[in-house]
Structures are given as C-alpha cells and as structure tokens.
C-alpha cells in the first residue's frame, strides 16, 4: 500500500497516520517529524529547517525533496509507505512523480482528512506530543491520565514551538495557498479519497479503513 495523507494542520493527519501505519504495517514517513528530529540533533538540515518551521513557513523544496528521495530508497519502503506532510507544493508533487516513475511504482491513494478552518486553531493550540515516543494528546479531546506525562511510555509531553496561535495562522495561510493545489493535482488523477476529520479518532479510522480497502 503506497499512500499519501493530506489535510490542513490540525486536521488529525498524524493521529490517523499512526493507526494506518499499524494497520497496514507500512512505514510512516512524516517530513515534519524528520525535520524536528534533525533540529533536535542540530544537523545542517535541522539548522536550515528551523528558520522556516519556527515561523510556520515551508522549508525550501530543494531541501525537502532530497530528504524524501533518500528516505524512499530505504529497504523498509519496498512494500509500501505512508507519506505524511509531503508533498506540500506542486513542485514537490512533480518531484515525487519523478521518484516513483524511476522506482516503477505508483501511488494507491491520497487520503484527505477534511475539516473546517474554525476548529483547527483550537485543536492545534491544545495539542501536546510525547517527547519520547511521539504519541499525541489534546488538552480537551484526548487528555493524558497524568498531566504532562505520556500514558504509553511515561515521557514528558511537550507543545511544538510552531503550535502557537500566530504561527498557526500563517501555516493555515500557507496550506490554502500552496498545498490545496496539490490536492487538486491528485484529484485530477482520480487518487483522492476524502474523509471527514470531525468526530472521534476511532470513528474516523473506521471510515479510513473502508476507504482504503481494509476489512473493518
């Protein structure tokens, strides 16, 4: 199964991606996670990416495309993958087409998690992530049992630096300007499957598995 997951920041892509990864046993490739890891390791790419991420802007295409190109050559992508947060521009989508052509593979579907802008800001501001295992939480919708502590591994919960109200407004603007056209690009290829991002996580995932041809 070769999939892309798309949706505005806060639509719940990351949460659904984690479930899809388990269900289909495919690697979850999140460019946002890759950049955050590079930042925490203070690599050259991390230092470059941080300048953009902190403002809610996109990291330049050249940097992002190279990162994904290398990742897709990994052995674990042989039987499928789930790309999350890439492509975010038409140039990235065209570059991905080129990579897939060279590998002689095709995408099976582009899952779009659809949600109204009004509720996104609240969702993002309440979002917390485990600093160790990356499990996601929400201060009203998915509270941890103990404040600030991950239920799964006991790690410390943190708020992403780009999850502030000011940065989110820019990220939403960037999404509508640059990433929505990518959805249109895949729509024309007949690959897009829409799922509503409203409702609880399990209900949404049940719809996702049906859309992707699973057994639930």
- In this structure, what is the dihedral angle of CA atoms 153, 158, 162, 165, given to the nearest 10 degrees? 120
Active-site option among 13, 21, 50, 123: 13
**E strand intervals along 156-201:** 157-158, 192-196
Rounded Cα distance, 19 and 23, in Å: 6
Indicate the residue among 53 and 109 with the shorter CB distance to ligand AMP: 53
Of the CA atoms within 13 Å of residue 50, those in its CB half-sphere come to 13
Residue with smallest beta-carbon separation from ligand AMP: 32
Indicate the residue among 12 and 32 with the shorter CB distance to ligand AMP: 32
Active site residue 36: no
Q: Shortest gap between Cβ of 197 and ligand AMP (angstroms)?
A: 14
Active-site option among 21, 123, 134, 171: 171
Element holding 15 (H helix, E strand): helix 13-24
Active site residue 127: yes
- The phi and psi torsions of 129 (rounded to 5 degrees) equal -130, 145
Residue ranges in contact with ligand AMP by CB under 6 A: 9, 31-32, 35, 52-53, 56-59, 64, 85-86, 88, 92, 162, 171
Indicate the residue among 149 and 178 with the shorter CB distance to ligand AMP: 178
Active site residue 13: yes
Active site members: 13, 88, 127, 160, 171
């Amino acid at each position: 199964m070769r999939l892309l997951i798309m949706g505005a920041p806060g639509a719940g892509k990351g949460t659904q991606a984690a479930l899809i990864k388990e269900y289909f046993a495919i690697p979850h490739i999140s460019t946002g996670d890759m950049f955050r890891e590079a930042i925490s390791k203070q690599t050259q790419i991390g230092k470059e990416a941080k300048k953009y991420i902190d403002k809610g802007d996109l990291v330049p295409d050249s940097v992002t495309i190279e990162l994904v190109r290398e990742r897709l050559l990994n052995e674990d992508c042989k039987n499928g993958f789930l790309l999350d947060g890439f492509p975010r521009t038409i140039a990235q989508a065209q570059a991905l087409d080129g990579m897939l052509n060279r590998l002689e593979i095709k995408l099976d579907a582009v899952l779009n998690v659809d949600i109204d802008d009004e509720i996104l800001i609240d969702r993002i501001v309440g979002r917390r992530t485990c600093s160790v295992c990356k499990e996601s939480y929400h201060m009203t919708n998915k509270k941890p049992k103990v404040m600030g502590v991950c239920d799964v591994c006991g790690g410390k919960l943190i708020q992403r630096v780009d999850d502030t109200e000011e940065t989110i407004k820019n990220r939403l603007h960037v999404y509508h300007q640059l990433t929505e056209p990518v959805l249109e690009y895949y729509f024309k290829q007949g690959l897009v499957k829409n799922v509503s991002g409203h409702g609880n996580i399990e209900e949404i995932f049940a719809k996702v598995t049906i859309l992707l041809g699973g057994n639930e």
